Amino acid sequence: MSSGKKKTTNTTVSTNDPPAWSTGYFQQALNQAGKLSQRPYIGYGGPTVAGFSQDQEDAFTMNRANAAQNGQTQANANKYLNDTINGLNKNPYSGENPYLGNMIDAANRDITQRYTDSTLPTQLAQFNSGGAYGGSAMQQALSQGQQNLAQQLSDTNYQYRNADYDRQAQLYNQDQQLRQSALGFLPQLQQMGYADANQLLKQGSMQQLLNQQAINDDRAQFNEWRDWDTNNLGILTNALGSIRGGTGTETKTGDNPNYTSASQNAAGYAALIASLWN
């Protein structure tokens, strides 16, 4: 005799079959997918990177010009410094002053004229009034007067030339000081040359950024147009997938034809034994 366990059975129920009304949508999705798979590649034909703006190009040109000019200025400054160190810088104010000779001659004429018009007549008058005119004392006085005149003329010549030399040295020193002061402003002047170009470059960079944003927007709109059918197909296939369903297993409780209770088993065993004795 056999006996079963529980009076339950497991039944697998297939739910794969879609609703009948959705058949047309599945066919539509299949047709659309076939068309999209045969469509040729459509590439974006516009620019992808914004080029330099006109302001940037102008700034580049200005910076190149500044670099060339500053390079020449720097070379001149280096030459001046090296010549100064080596003692090669000559005083441009040195040399014969074309007006110095005339100035000395004019001063000497004044000195000579004062001597002849005042000093000499006074001496002659003194000796004449004293009755010593033409004597040795007079001759000695006149000789001394001539020596004094010559010394005054010589001193005047020296003074004028020495003053001219000092003037040349002073002008040279002032010139050197101005040149050295200008060298101190050289870095600042060079930076000022780049300042305007850099401001223009910043403005150009803003324009380039705006152009790049416009390109990105155009490309995004192109991609949206190109993928419009594909995206719509995705929406349709996702919707169809959600209504298609799947395979499930259901558990149901009912009579098991192989099940026998304990009393049924006992009666069966008794009948079997009885048959053996008969």
pLDDT of 249 reads 42
3-class DSSP state of 9? strand
pLDDT of 267 reads 53
Instruction: Round to whole Å and give the CA distance between 98 and 110.
Output: 20
**Which one, of 9, 7, 10, 27, lies nearest residue 18 by Cα?**
27
Instruction: Round to whole Å and give the CA distance between 122 and 97.
Output: 37
56: how many CB neighbours lie within 10 A of its CB?
19
Strand-pairing partners, residue 14, are 247
Average pLDDT over the chain, rounded to an integer: 79
59: how many CB neighbours lie within 10 A of its CB?
23
pLDDT of 121 reads 87
Give the alpha-carbon dihedral of 132, 136, 139, 144, to 10 degrees.
Answer: -110
**What's the rounded mean pLDDT across residues 119-123?**
85
pLDDT of 30 reads 83
pLDDT of 275 reads 45
Q: Is the pLDDT of residue 150 over 60?
A: yes
pLDDT of 194 reads 86
Q: Is the pLDDT of residue 140 over 50?
A: yes
Q: What is the pLDDT of residues 98-107, one digit of tens each?
A: 888 899 999 9
Q: What is the pLDDT of residues 59-113, one digit of tens each?
A: 999 989 888 888 888 888 888 888 887 877 888 878 788 888 899 999 999 999 9
**What's the rounded mean pLDDT across residues 172-198?**
84
